[in-house]
Amino acid sequence: MEQLSQFFKQITNHNNREPKNLYNPIDYVLSQDGKHLRPQMVYISTQLFNGPTEAALYPAAAFELLHNFTLIHDDIMDQAPQRRGEPSVYKKWNTNIAILSGDAMATFALQTMLQTPTTADIKLELSHLISKTSIEICEGQQYDLDFENQKNVSISEYLKMIRLKTAVMIAGCLKAGAILSQTSPKNQQIAYDIGINIGIAFQLKDDLLDIYGDNTVFGKINGGDIKENKKTYPLLRAIEDATPEQKLKLSNYLSLPDSKFEEKFMLIKKLYEELEIKKKCENLILEYGNQALNLLNTLDDINPKGKEVLQDWITRLRDRDK
């Protein structure tokens, strides 16, 4: 991912770009140590379909820019003071600067896609893909915000939300590699669907790690979602499966104040145990992960080495503990 860092430096340091209050936050975010999951997905997909891996740098960078734009704006909306162990942009600078540098970054994402060294038609296809993805992510984030004030959220509503907020970007990355490689429309669609399944599994795993993650590995404090009564899969599953008596208990636990967080976390975990939430969640993750692996087997004319790499990725994402 060294190439990616070089590429980002070009964007923000080009001609000593000013104003600094716009470009420094972009630089700050792009030089943080992220997982670079999305660029890797673009590369892996391009390799899988025997495409031009050098040109893949552009869609890879574009999706990483888009991802980071969403993080900057989400942190304002969620009032999240930290990101990757450092102050978030709105905390380090201020809300206005975070809004604007996010706006600029979203545009750089698109501009980068337009610059992909390929044919005009493919550039257009890639640009359509990233703009569609960007709109769907806004929809997903809005649903997520709406859920905070919505009394009842069904599991299917929740899955729709994480599909939009998280999965379509992973799907877009895999499809971008497929488009760039000029593979068949059938393969492109399958690549997209693999991404949807990976993305949903990925978010469900995040939900689970919030409760059961090894916090020395995961790098976060456990129970953050529970503290905020966030409507994650485990909570919604528990609400759906609980007996009337358990429901009443759960409702009482959820209304415990922040000062009793440790007690709240412990009580809810105990209830989750009774309801086998961990197992149910793991089974669903396995289902999505297996669906991704099955889809991978339906692709035609692919690079066997690439297939192995993606298989390995899916397995590791599914089984990760951070």
What's the CA gap between 99 and 217, in Å, rounded?
A: 32
Interface with a copy of itself includes 16 (CB under 8 A)?
A: no
- Cα separations in angstroms, 27 against 112, 136, 217, 271: 16, 26, 27, 44
Phi, psi of 210 (to 5 degrees): -60, -30
- Residue 67 CA to residue 77 CA, distance in Å, equals 15
Nearer to a copy of itself, 138 or 254 (CB): 138
Cα 46 to Cα 38: distance, rounded to the nearest angstrom: 13
Residue from 132, 186, 279, 305 in contact with a copy of itself (CB under 8 A)? 132
DSSP SS3 for 36:
coil
Query: Of the ranges 1-9, 106-114, 193-201, 285-293, which one interacts with a copy of itself (CB under 8 A)?
Result: 106-114
Question: Rounded to the nearest whole angstrom, what is the least distance from the CB of residue 114 to a copy of itself in the complex?
Answer: 6
By the rule CB under 8 A, 31 interacts with a copy of itself: no
| Stretch 142-181 residues interacting with a copy of itself (CB under 8 A) | 142-143, 145-146
DSSP string, 102-120: HHHHHHHHHHHHHT-SS-H
Using an 8 Å Cβ cutoff, are 124 and 118 in contact? no
Q: Pick from 1, 22, 80, 254: which binds a copy of itself (CB under 8 A)?
A: 22
Angle (CA) 82-83-84 rounded to 5° is 125
For residue 290, what are its two tokens? 């297996």
285 near a copy of itself, rule: CB under 8 A = no
Q: Which of 14, 15, 18, 152 binds a copy of itself (CB under 8 A)?
A: 18
Q: Least Å distance between CB 201 and a copy of itself? A: 24
Stretch that binds a copy of itself, among 49-57, 100-108, 242-250, 259-267 (CB under 8 A): 100-108
Single-letter residue type at 190: I
Say whether residue 124 binds a copy of itself (CB under 8 A).
Answer: yes
Whether the CB-CB separation of 60 and 39 falls below 8 Å is answered with yes
Note the residues at the interface with a copy of itself (CB under 8 A): 18-19, 21-22, 73, 76-77, 95-97, 99-104, 106-108, 110-111, 114, 120-121, 123-124, 127-128, 131-132, 134-135, 138-139, 141-143, 145-146
